Amino acid sequence: MADPALDPTLDPASLADEDWRALLSPTEHAILRESATERPGTGRYLDNEEAGAYHCAGCGNALYDGRHKFHSGCGWPSFFQEVEPGALKTVRDTSHRMIRVEMRCARCGGHLGHIFEDAPQTPTGTRHCVNGAALVFVPEGEDPLQVLRAHREGRY
């Protein structure tokens, strides 16, 4: 099966829902493809402080540099900016009787979480509140494709 995380030339928009279900864990699918949210304090990477980068669990797109991660106390991994402009796309989210800024992976459109302007302690003043299951962490010095492959195989 074609996998956009392992083949950067593949257009993730060409995948049908059944393809995504075959590639992603049930939790990853619920979050990335159905905009679910993991329970606070339960997600992977919440307390990760290793040097490296965070990639989209759906398509492998680089999203965040570990140097931009901070502990916000919200229960989800938090970052103050994306790895580079254009890595994310934002949409207005009016669900749950709130007006929020939802962030999605710019490459595959996978739901990541929300952006809040409540982090004055950061250089940007923003908190990117990200579902850990939407991410794959690539330690500094490791090959992203190898880590993504190992993640898909359940070895990472």
Q: Which residues are catalytic?
A: 129
- Give dist(CA 154, CA 40) in Å, integer: 23
**Parallel, antiparallel, or unpaired: how do β-strands 127-130 and 78-79 relate?**
antiparallel
Helix/strand/coil for 39: coil
Helix/strand/coil for 134: helix
**Parallel, antiparallel, or unpaired: how do β-strands 135-139 and 127-130 relate?**
unpaired
CB 75 within 8 A of CB 83: no
CB 24 within 8 A of CB 58: yes
- Least Cα distance to 68 among 12, 134, 119 occurs for 119
